[in-house]
A and B are shown apart, each in its own frame.
Chain A
Amino acid sequence: MMLLGTLAILAFAFLGAPLFAVVLAAAMLGFYASEIDLAVIGIELYRLTSTPLLVALPLFTFSGYLLSESNTSKRLVDVMQSLVGWLPSGLALVGFVACAVFTALTGASGVTIVALGALLLPALVRSGYSERFGLGLVTASGSLGLLLAPSVPLILYGIVAQQLDVGEPFTIQDLFVAGILPALLMIVLLTLYSLWLHRGGAIPRVAFAWSNLGRALWAARWELPLPFFVLGGIYGGFFAVSEAAAMTALYVLVVEVFLYREISVRRLPSVMVDSMVMVGGILLILGAALAFTNYLVDAEVPQRLFEFTKEHIESPITFLILLNILLLVLGAVLDIFSALVIMVPLLLPMAVGYGIHPVHLGIIFLANMQIGYFTPPIGMNLFIASYRFKKPILELYAACLPFMLVLLVALLIITYVPALSLGPVEWLRGD
Chain B
Amino acid sequence: MMNRALAWLQRLESALLALLLFAMIALAAYQVFARNLFDTGFTWGDGFVRVAVLWVTVIGAMVASRSDDHIRMDVLARYFSTGTLVLVRRATALFTALVSFGVAWSSIGFVQFEREDGTLAFGAVPAWWCEVILPVGFAVIGLRYLLRAFVLSAEQVLDDEGDQGGSYSDLDGDGVDADGDRAP
Contact = CB atoms under 8 A, between A and B. Distances in A.
B126 interface: no
A41 interface: yes
B25 A18 contact: no
Contacts of B88: 15-16
Contacts of B57: 48, 279-280, 283-284, 287
A52 B29 contact: no
B89 interface: yes
20 contacts: A14-B75, A20-B71, A21-B95, A39-B110, A40-B106, A42-B106, A43-B110, A46-B134, A48-B57, A49-B54, A51-B50, A55-B24, A59-B28, A114-B168, A114-B171, A250-B29, A268-B18, A280-B56, A281-B69, A287-B57
Which 6 residue pairs spanning A and B have beta carbons closest together?
A280-B60, A42-B107, A246-B28, A42-B110, A18-B70, A17-B92
A4 B36 CA distance: 57
B154 interface: no
Interface stretch (A97-105, A204-212, A330-338, A359-367): A330-338
Interface stretch (A86-94, A187-195, A270-278): A270-278
B166 A277 contact: yes
A38 B131 CA distance: 16
Contact of A58 (B56, B71, B110, B134): B56
Given A16-B73, A48-B57, A269 B165 contact: no
A387 B178 contact: yes
Q: Which secondary structure characterizes the binding site on chain A?
A: helix
Contacts of A243: 28, 31-32
Interface in A26-79: 28, 37-43, 45-46, 48-52, 54-55, 57-59, 62, 65, 68
A278 B60 contact: yes
A198 B172 CA distance: 31
B18 A49 contact: no
Contacts of A42: 103, 106-111, 131, 134-135
A111 interface: yes
Interface string A163-199: 0000000000000000000000000000000000000
Contacts of A14: 73, 75-76
A388 B170 CA distance: 10
A50 to B, nearest CB: 7
A273 B18 contact: yes
Contacts of B64: 277, 280-281
B89 A16 contact: yes
A282 interface: yes
A273 B32 contact: no
Contacts of A242: 28
B103 A24 contact: yes
A253 interface: yes
Interface in B110-156: 110-111, 113, 121, 130-131, 134-135
